[in-house]
């Protein structure tokens, strides 16, 4: 039978909007088959206005403010803030931790150490009010999006924005500010007015200075060694700002504060330019606010930003290295689109000849005969079923476009469609529902309050991990359907697929059904997996690879479906992730971000906002800790993980010795990852006559492994 014509590479194209973040993907209601859930185990906080219809971010940096007890830290970087209810120190506490204060353990002199973190509870300064004598007022939420939140405590308003230069309190008429410090105030000095602000410099008992700016001529004095109090309360609205240190640039930027931060992005040839755009209130001498940037941001900044660099301040983030300050209303960055990678959607499959192609064909036939994708994907977990469906989708790709067996590809395509349609009909064991409280698509499995079910999906854990597999599966089914069937399959399933995309990656706040960018944090350059849980160390993520797998899935789906906005956002995510992952989660030779005594671990383990711990949630085995940053191995892996890094990790972690004694799926993960650095050795492993199926993870096939390795020259 004649081989089918390979799919054309002129994918359908949609019109690319000028600003990829300027409009949502869609604003229509979720499909009717996603029944609305009128209850959620985690209640929306009482401070959200009654009748609110605006989606609430579940994985945002201010998550600790949304869930009880509402008093754990929020990291804006370089500062952490929290609602401090100590009777003597009521207010919004502020801290910033220097490198010498970081805690290493459990054996601090070991190299490498297992973890490091920043100590908590150090109230360097605290913005309070003299009327809060009966306890700290509960927060009332006034406005929010993924990158900012504004809330009030009585008549004092606070806005928290990622990277903000000052911690600011806006005091209503008649309220008297109290600035306190548990560290203690050794001395203070009043500095001549700066612009429209009065400046005070507090020297604490740890010998660290903090600058305080007030947009009035009102005076302050020490009530005692812990409290710095305004003498009068005759003012109207008052802006009080604090920042660590005493720098000239503070004088140039005090008086205005950031109220909101919005994203803008545009495709320009092979570059994608994106920016953080700041809305400000108040006035400063420079006319612009002060902002702080992380290493991956200033490494990719547009050259024009160099003139906005404030070279005086130099503060640490918690776990992401030194930050740089800029005076600007707009911070502009640029990333190159990912280069041509193996296989779709970049390149047609390679011509694999001779014995290698025959082995792939024989392996394909054997695995298709043994693998019931319909049965095995029928689980109670969106994560597990997604992995199994995507395993089947990669097998479909090999059958359709590498082996080009029309009969087998058509048969397997039909099976994949039936397996996938169980989910698009919402007939899986634990159907999805639309949560009307937090506004998102969640598994019904955990509505009883059991947060262990489906890895916490109901609580908004890991949605990018779970749904990324389903989205990529849909892309490959669509691709095969256009060559081996009617080409109409996507039309009947598009709404369900794109609802999952909106749940994870909606780009704009005008979508009334989903929060903006639920998983991906554009400030940090990667996603946070942790949802509606209070955490003393903040949000976390333990799988960098499943993070960029979602970006790869979004890019691939956007390309196949002709949605240029999705395609471009996915490409930008991939590019940003390549930079951030290799800064904060994978530690190559030239990594200067993580502490030297942690760097030799080669990978983060679990990355939190406030610590890095070289472990996983499911065990301490080396293959777990490193393998969770490899799974799944796809063409995108060859983009993010360099051959040099893979080779160094393999040798320094002694993986050769490790894999010899493994009979689990982690062996296959490590060996397929090795193809990035040594494709011949990887090929020989998967091609061996005595290959044991136990060496395959439940989301991978030997068929795909051989085909991927062959596509990069391993055969």
Q: Residue 304 domain-assigned?
A: yes
Euclidean distance between CA atoms 425 and 492, whole angstroms: 11
What CATH number is associated with residue 240?
A: 2.70.98.30
Count of structural domains, the chain: 2
Euclidean distance between CA atoms 708 and 689, whole angstroms: 19
Euclidean distance between CA atoms 193 and 641, whole angstroms: 52
Does residue 319 share a domain with residue 174? no
Euclidean distance between CA atoms 708 and 711, whole angstroms: 5
Does residue 264 share a domain with residue 115? no
- Boundary residue ending a domain (319, 336, 353): 336
Confirm if 675 and 702 have CB atoms less than 8 A apart: no
Residue 462 annotated to the active site:
yes
For residue 28 the two structure tokens come to: 């229509």
- Boundary residue ending a domain (274, 302, 336): 336
Beta strands in 245-289 (DSSP E): 256-268, 271-282
Does residue 278 share a domain with residue 235? no
Q: Residue 418 domain-assigned?
A: no
Does residue 289 share a domain with residue 159? no
pLDDT of residue 16: 67
Read off the DSSP letter of residue 208: -
Residue 542 annotated to the active site:
yes
Strand order in the sheet with 330-336: 256-268, 271-282, 330-336
Low-confidence ranges of the chain (pLDDT < 70): 1-11, 13-17, 193-194, 234
Q: Which residue has the tokens 């809330």?
A: 151
Does residue 291 share a domain with residue 204? no
Does residue 83 share a domain with residue 230? yes
Domain interval for residue 163: 46-258
For residue 681 the two structure tokens come to: 């050795």
Does residue 284 share a domain with residue 239? no
How, if at all, do strands 290-293 and 220-224 pair?
unpaired
The phi and psi torsions of 675 (rounded to 5 degrees) equal -60, -25
For residue 364 the two structure tokens come to: 């394909």
pLDDT of residue 4: 45
Euclidean distance between CA atoms 216 and 197, whole angstroms: 6
Q: Which helix (H) or strand (E) holds 103?
A: strand 103-105
Euclidean distance between CA atoms 537 and 481, whole angstroms: 46
pLDDT of residue 302: 97
Q: Residue 424 domain-assigned?
A: no
Does residue 301 share a domain with residue 211? no
Euclidean distance between CA atoms 61 and 93, whole angstroms: 16
For residue 24 the two structure tokens come to: 């949502």
- What is the tens place of the pLDDT at every residue in 317-374? 999 999 999 999 999 999 999 988 878 777 777 778 889 999 999 999 999 999 999 9
Does residue 199 share a domain with residue 120? yes
Euclidean distance between CA atoms 309 and 622, whole angstroms: 41
Euclidean distance between CA atoms 390 and 111, whole angstroms: 39
Q: Residue 208 domain-assigned?
A: yes
Euclidean distance between CA atoms 670 and 663, whole angstroms: 12
Does residue 246 share a domain with residue 155? yes
Confirm if 343 and 349 have CB atoms less than 8 A apart: yes
Does residue 279 share a domain with residue 241? no
- Boundary residue ending a domain (227, 258, 289): 258
Q: Residue 232 domain-assigned?
A: yes
Q: Residue 390 domain-assigned?
A: no
**Of 246, 546, 567, 609, which one is the catalytic site residue?**
546
pTM of this structure = 0.96
Q: Residue 105 domain-assigned?
A: yes
Residue 218 annotated to the active site:
no
Q: Residue 82 domain-assigned?
A: yes
**Of 462, 481, 521, 609, which one is the catalytic site residue?**
462
- Per the DSSP assignment, residues forming a β-bridge with 99 are none
Does residue 319 share a domain with residue 234? no
């Amino acid at each position: 039978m004649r081989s089918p014509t390979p799919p054309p590479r002129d994918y359908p194209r949609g019109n690319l909007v000028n600003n990829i973040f300027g409009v949502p993907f869609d604003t229509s209601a979720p499909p009717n088959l996603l029944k609305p859930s009128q209850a959620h185990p985690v209640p929306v906080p009482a401070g959200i206005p009654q009748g609110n219809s605006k989606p609430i971010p579940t994985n945002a940096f201010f998550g600790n403010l949304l869930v009880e007890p509402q008093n754990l830290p929020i990291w804006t970087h370089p500062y952490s803030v929290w609602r401090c209810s100590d009777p003597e120190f009521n207010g919004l506490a502020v801290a910033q931790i220097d490198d010498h204060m970081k805690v290493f353990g459990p054996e601090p002199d070991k190299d490498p150490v297992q973890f490091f973190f920043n100590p908590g509870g150090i109230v360097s300064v605290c913005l309070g009010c003299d009327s809060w004598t009966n306890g700290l007022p509960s927060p009332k939420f006034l406005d929010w999006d993924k990158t900012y939140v504004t809330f009030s405590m009585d008549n004092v308003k606070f806005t928290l924005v990622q990277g903000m230069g000052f911690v600011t309190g806006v005091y209503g008429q008649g309220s008297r500010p109290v600035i306190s410090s548990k560290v203690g105030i050794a001395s203070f000095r009043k500095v001549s007015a700066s612009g429209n602000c009065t400046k005070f410099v507090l020297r604490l008992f740890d010998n660290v200075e903090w600058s305080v700016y007030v947009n009035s001529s009102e005076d302050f004095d020490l009530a005692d060694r812990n409290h710095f109090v305004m003498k009068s309360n005759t003012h109207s609205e008052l802006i009080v700002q604090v920042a660590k240190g005493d720098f000239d640039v503070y004088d140039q930027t005090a008086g205005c504060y950031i109220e909101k931060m919005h994203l803008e992005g545009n495709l320009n040839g092979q570059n994608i330019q994106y920016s953080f755009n700041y809305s400000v209130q108040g006035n400063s001498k420079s006319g612009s606010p002060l902002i702080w940037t992380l290493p991956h941001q200033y490494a990719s900044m547009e050259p024009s930003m160099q003139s906005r660099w404030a070279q005086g301040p130099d503060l640490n983030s918690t776990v992401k290295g030194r930050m740089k300050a800029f005076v600007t209303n707009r911070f502009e960055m640029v990333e190159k689109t990912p280069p041509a990678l193996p296989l779709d959607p970049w390149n047609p499959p390679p011509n694999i000849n001779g014995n290698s192609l025959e082995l792939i064909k024989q392996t394909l036939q054997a695995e298709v005969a043994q693998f019931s994708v319909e049965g095995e994907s029928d689980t109670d977990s969106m994560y597990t079923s997604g992995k199994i469906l995507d395993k089947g989708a990669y097998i479909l790709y090999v059958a359709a476009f590498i082996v080009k067996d029309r009969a087998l590809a058509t048969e397997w395509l039909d099976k994949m469609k039936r397996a996938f349609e169980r989910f698009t009909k919402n007939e899986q064991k634990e159907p999805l529902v639309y949560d009307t409280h937090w506004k998102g698509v969640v598994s019904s499995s955990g509505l009883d309050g059991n947060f262990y079910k489906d890895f916490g999906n109901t609580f908004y854990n890991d949605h990018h991990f779970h749904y990324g597999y389903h989205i990529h599966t849909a892309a490959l089914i669509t691709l095969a359907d256009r060559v081996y069937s009617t080409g109409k399959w996507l039309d009947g399933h598009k709404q369900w697929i794109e609802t999952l995309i909106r749940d994870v990656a909606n780009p704009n706040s005008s979508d009334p059904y989903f929060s903006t960018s639920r998983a991906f944090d554009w400030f940090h350059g990667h996603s946070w997996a942790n949802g509606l849980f209070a955490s003393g160390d903040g949000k976390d993520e333990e799988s960098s690879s499943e993070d960029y797998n979602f970006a790869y899935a979004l890019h691939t789906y956007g390309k196949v479906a002709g949605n240029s906005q999705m395609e471009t956002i996915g490409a930008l995510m991939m590019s940003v992730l390549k930079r951030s992952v290799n800064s904060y989660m994978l530690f190559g030779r030239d990594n200067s971000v993580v502490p030297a005594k942690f760097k030799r671990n080669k990978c983060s383990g679990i990355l939190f906002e406030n610590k890095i711990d070289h472990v996983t949630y499911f065990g301490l085995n080396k293959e777990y800790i490193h393998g969770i940053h490899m799974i799944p191995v796809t063409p995108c892996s060859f983009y993010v993980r360099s051959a040099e890094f893979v080779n160094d990790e393999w040798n320094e972690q002694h993986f050769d010795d490790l894999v010899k004694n493994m009979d689990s799926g982690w062996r296959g993960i490590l060996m397929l990852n090795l193809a990035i650095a040594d494709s011949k050795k990887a090929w020989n492993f998967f091609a061996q006559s005595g290959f044991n199926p136990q060496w395959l993870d439940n989301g991978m096939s030997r068929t795909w492994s051989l085909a991927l390795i062959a596509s990069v020259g391993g055969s």
